[in-house]
Amino acid sequence: MKKIVVAALVTLAAASSMAAQNNVGSCGWGSKVFEGKSGIAPQVLAATTNGTSGNQTFGITFGTSGCTQDGVVSSSWKTAMYIDGNRVALARDAAAGQGESLDVLAELMGVKAADRALFATTIKSNFATVFANDKVAANLKSVLAANEQLAGYAAVI
């Protein structure tokens, strides 16, 4: 009995940590069943559904359950941490439309060389929106999503 309780707690802790990071993903039964729901409970249930049944792994392997095989593994936490940790330098460079911190951000986000100038000028021209409050990452995501050429980069934030 003690082993079952420990196993349940470990499983719950793992699912909770995934849910807190919103790592449900965009495919698998869990993400489809709980699509549009917010809060920790739906995220835990979606992650548990995908994790315990193995349907997300199967879906990625065979292209089912809303999964594709051409996906790219990305990490938005690095970008968000960089933005939070360098907000002042980013604000200075964004106002100027150029600078080292803006270049590093573009690099972290995987902005192609051909899009770098547009990336910098878009952030500069939307400075008031991006730095309107302490939600710089979310604001930047919205600004990039609104630009047809840069919308793909919004997913990395």
pLDDT tens per residue, range 68-112: 666 554 556 788 888 989 999 999 999 999 999 999 999 999 999
* Residue 13 maps to a domain: yes
More confident residue, 36 or 22: 36
Question: CA 24, CA 44: separation in Å to the nearest integer?
Answer: 8
- The answer on 84 and 151 residing in a single domain is yes
What's the domain count of the chain? 2
Q: Name the pLDDT band for 26 (thresholds 50, 70, 90).
A: low
Instruction: Give a yes or no: residue 23 inside a domain.
Output: yes
Range of the domain at 143: 76-156
Contact partners, residue 64, CB within 8 Å, separation at least 6:
58
82/145 same-domain check: yes
In this predicted structure, the answer to whether residue 134 has a pLDDT above a threshold of 50 is yes
Q: Which of 48-57, 102-111, 134-143 has the lowest mean pLDDT?
A: 48-57
Same domain assignment for residues 58 and 82: no
Task: Please return the burial class of 83, using the count of CB atoms within 10 Å of its CB with bins 0-12, 13-18 and 19+.
Answer: buried
Helix (H) or strand (E) holding 18: helix 2-20
CB atoms within 10 A of CB 73: 4
